[in-house]
Amino acid sequence: MAMTDAPALAASDGKKVSLSQQKRAVLAAPPEVLRKLGGHVIVGYYRSRQLTPLLKRGAVGGVFMTRRNARRRSRKQLAREVERFRSLAAGNSARPLWIATDQEGGLVAHLSPPLRRQKSLGRMLRGAKTAEERKEIARSFAETQAVGLSELGVNLNFAPVVDLKPKKRLRRDRRTHLIRRAISDDPDVIVEAAETYCNALAGWRILCTLKHFPGLQGVKADTHIRQASLAKSRDELEAADWIPFWSLTATTPAAMMIGHAKLSAIDADNPASASTLVVSELLRDEWDYNGIIITDDLDMGAINRRAGGIGKASVDALRAGVDIILLTADGDLVYQVLYALLKAHERGELAEALLARSRKRLDKYAERFAPQNNSWPKDMPVPTPAPHRSARAD
């Protein structure tokens, strides 16, 4: 998106602030504040130079790479670009830089080419008759993927999809295509495959991401296009949809991506990605999940059509207890998010205790999944499996 095309934000005095004004304000912000807030943002780009002023100021916590960045590029070219990003950020950013992508396999494989194309994990598992067969397929699938991702310098992958597979395609589905991406409609099969996948990636210092909480199977509209709700009861969700999420957060070092559908059973007014009731009270307090929570891309219809747009959503997400705000589309649009966060910080709307807990999580995971001496050792330890428990607090 060109800078002149973005909507203006309203300042505290009611005046509109253009994106060019937001950009100037962000780049002139106190370095320590910009570094602290920007460390919660991962941003995509069209041209690598868009990121230069941000990386030199430590104003973002990570970079998202996708098809437009990989088009007509070799592995070596992409790896050199990633190394340049890391060099620019070194000594400036709050922690080692996340290099993220969306490499599920099948329909969503944003770095293929140059990486090897793979069928989706769900399709690979067709015909497997035993748990051991499924685990071996998932392990081989993950190892193949990890070799390519690590060669490029990627250390955060937005996979696997652990939503339950829908029985039929959503009628107005223009972008999600969950029926082609989901592993299975059986929670136990999902857990077997995804646990093997995540732990295999961790052995290459690549953090997996469980998506899309609270589950998209029962969502009737496409959040890429418009606002949507998940109307299932809590009992229904606990009996099926949530089993992969709470099981895998106990047995793998997975991050979790939180979507923009409203979870009617918990908070019917706000997207899950911006809901304190969902993030802090359910995931953090009840589930005791202390891993990284990442928003789905904020540049989606469910957020753009909400009052306040991505600026308000970014503030609401951090206040809810989210750790990383994701913007996959444009290296300029990030200024709207950073400006909103800086203004919220000035107004005292971002509790320091909450941000400190988030920074502690980010520091821990960034250290564990950062490349060391340009190598990607396969000795990354994984958590000891915790006993299964209900998602609902006693």
CATH of the domain at 160: 3.20.20.300
pLDDT at residue 149, as a whole number: 97
Task: Note every long-range contact of 177-180, with CB atoms under 8 Å and residues 24 or more positions apart, other chains counting.
Answer: 177/107, 178/216, 178/217, 180/106, 180/107, 180/120
**Cα Rg for the chain, rounded, in angstroms?**
20
Q: Using CA atoms, how far apart are residues 154 and 42, in angstroms rounded to an integer?
A: 13
Residue 8 lies in a domain: no
Total domains, the chain: 1
Domain containing 265 equals: 19-368
Residue 9 lies in a domain: no
Residue 59 lies in a domain: yes
Per-residue pLDDT for the chain (394 aa), expressed as one digit of tens each? Answer: 333 334 444 444 346 788 899 999 999 999 999 999 999 999 999 999 999 999 999 999 999 999 999 999 999 999 999 999 999 999 999 899 999 999 999 888 999 999 999 999 999 999 888 999 999 999 999 999 999 999 999 999 999 999 998 876 666 656 567 778 889 999 999 999 999 999 999 999 999 999 999 987 767 766 766 667 778 999 999 999 999 999 999 999 999 999 998 999 999 999 999 999 999 999 999 999 999 999 999 988 778 888 788 999 999 999 999 999 999 987 678 999 999 999 999 999 999 999 999 999 999 999 999 876 433 334 444 433 333 333 332 2
- H helices within the chain, ranges in order? 19-27, 31-38, 52-56, 67-70, 75-89, 121-124, 131-152, 178-181, 187-202, 234-236, 243-251, 276, 301-304, 309-320, 334-346, 352-368
Q: Using CA atoms, how far apart are residues 57 and 335, in angstroms rounded to an integer?
A: 13
DSSP-derived 3-state class of residue 41: strand
- In this structure, are strands 16-17 and 9-10 parallel, antiparallel, or unpaired? antiparallel
User: Contact, 254 vs 210, CB < 8 A?
Assistant: yes
Taking Cα atoms as reference points, which of 178, 189, 244, 184 lies closest to residue 216?
A: 178
- In this structure, are strands 262-263 and 267-271 parallel, antiparallel, or unpaired? antiparallel
- In this structure, are strands 103-105 and 108-109 parallel, antiparallel, or unpaired? antiparallel
Residue 377 lies in a domain: no
pLDDT at residue 383, as a whole number: 38
pLDDT at residue 382, as a whole number: 40
User: Contact, 236 vs 265, CB < 8 A?
Assistant: no
User: Contact, 114 vs 147, CB < 8 A?
Assistant: no
pLDDT at residue 344, as a whole number: 97
Helix (H) or strand (E) holding 326: strand 325-327
pLDDT at residue 386, as a whole number: 36
Distance from the Cα of residue 360 to its chain's centroid? 18
Two structure tokens written together for 324:
């990383």
Q: Using CA atoms, how far apart are residues 86 and 99, in angstroms rounded to an integer?
A: 9
Residue 110 lies in a domain: yes
Q: Using CA atoms, how far apart are residues 85 and 81, in angstroms rounded to an integer?
A: 6
pLDDT at residue 332, as a whole number: 79
Residue 1 lies in a domain: no
Residue 111 lies in a domain: yes
